[in-house]
Structure 1
Amino acid sequence: MPFFDIFLAAAILGTAALALFARDRIAAISAFLVAGLLVALSWVRLGAPDVALAEAAIGAGLTAALLLRSARRIPSAAPSPVSDAQWLGAAALALGVTGAIVWTALGVGTAPVYPPLVRDALPASGVENPVTAVLLNFRAWDTLLEIAVLFVALVVVAVISPVRPRTAPLGPMVLPFARVILPLTILLAGHLLWQGGHAPGGAFQAGALLAGGAIALGLSGVVLRRSGIGGLAIAGLAAFVLAALAAELLTGALLSYPVGEAKAWIIAIESALTISIAATLFLLFFGPAERH
């Protein structure tokens, strides 16, 4: 369907331009949200459903929610004029980056390198999903660093904004909605977590979905203890580090799981990561500290 793909690419560029140049904040954020959903659809078209799920949940949904919350807190300011030199500089930078991407893409060989390697090693990974095998086994150190970066982001937010803003409930209809949506998100998050072993899914997608349900509960006016949620936020990183050290003791290599037990280790790590990611995203939205 080349016509659909061309239309999809044009729609992504159009909504991205609207997000950049719209004067109204809500319109710009709405365009950003639509652009994120279209990008998720493009990942589906490229045959990467795992990335599409993460983009739709985190890149579009929760990020747009954070932008909407920030738009309400940051006062409006008069737009400053942009000089012709700044426009030309931005255009030159964009063309340079585009040229570098095109040059790199044309220079890469057409024969795939990594898929055959992953396919050959997949039976020993403990899971059937190649994405999960790469993220939690073959390149587990990359995922560990990603979780560390997510936790550092939460620490930075706590340092630069130690006071949690008060959140007014959105209305009497939100609490009944949250009572329905939260159990559903827990069930769906558990399904995505378990499914990640053999199909698209995993901790990042499950954690983002669980965070959405928790945010709905928080917006309904239910007060949740931030101290306990903060402990959950560090649980994923702590579990990952402990797993690495335990693997070192048992196998002599960090994050090299014992033979025949890789699936159990991966499920345990991903379970902790799901709760930790959900707690971190929740605290990034509402703030990590109570007002004193």
Structure 2
Amino acid sequence: MTAEVWLPIAPEEIDGLPEGPVYRFWDGAEEFPADPADCSFYVVPYMKPGDLGIRPLPLMRSVRVVQTLSAGIDHVQPGLKHLPDGVLLCNARGVHEASTAELTLALILASLRGIPDFVRAQDRGEWHDGFRPALADRTVLIVGYGSIGAAIEDRLAPFEVARVARVARSPRTTARGPVHPLTDLPSLLPEADVVVLATPLTEGTHGLVGAEFLARMKDGSLLVNVARGPVVDTMALLAELETGRITAALDVTDPEPLPPGHPLWHAPGVLITPHAGGPTSAFLPRAKRLLVDQLRRFVNREPLANVILTTGATGA
């Protein structure tokens, strides 16, 4: 039987797709492009509500691969229980690292140097000089040291930071130094001037940044979240921000989108961007390259890249 592939990018816009499969375009429209039961390789629509992306999964009885175009896979996990055993779930490692790391540095620099205050002052025609914190000579703690965390450290290198500390689920050694386990956070947090969250959202990281975590952060430190909103306990963060003891730069929030009138919008010392880490001009060409490579592997029966889990496997 000919394999059917569902793509959220029109196939005629992707150069180099391998011959053989039947390509269907579906970007979340109400009508499916064909019978979901015949789909072999499903690429989840990007930047769509999670319930939309998983809507066809209960009907996909023949699917063998589910490919996201995001680094995180939390938005599709609720639908995996509907799939047969042996389906590969792959993420978009290699697509978002550069853009997310760029935004992380932008958030750090804008927050430390007071760019939002300068913009507001410019709107009022006011000149506000004075000293502001610099990134140079500061200690940065990266919580979540996967490919995005490593890309963030790559971009920190020219800024003459005093130290970068790295934390991940499991300890290991890298060319740049040790990666500490999550259990080391209580001793690392009081030393960090900037704490960057780049961890996946899992059962273990949901609510990781709660009152105890925040209380251990250094006075005057900055929390930057480019991970997922629920990694942070919003109410605990609001309570800490109200004291003025720490500041925050958030590309993701809980809830998300952040509704009008939510207290985070007007909390002191917070900079908010609308989950802008991934959607840049870098996304589409990198996403297309990933899809061409994965589909070439699929057609040639070669091992796929970026496999996060296999349905039905232990721990999946």
Same-fold call, TM > 0.5? no
Q: Which structure has more strand as a fraction of its residues?
A: 2
* TM-score, scaled to structure 2: 0.23
- Answer 1 or 2: higher relative contact order, Cα 8 Å, separation at least 6: 1
Give the structure with the higher percent helix.
Answer: 1
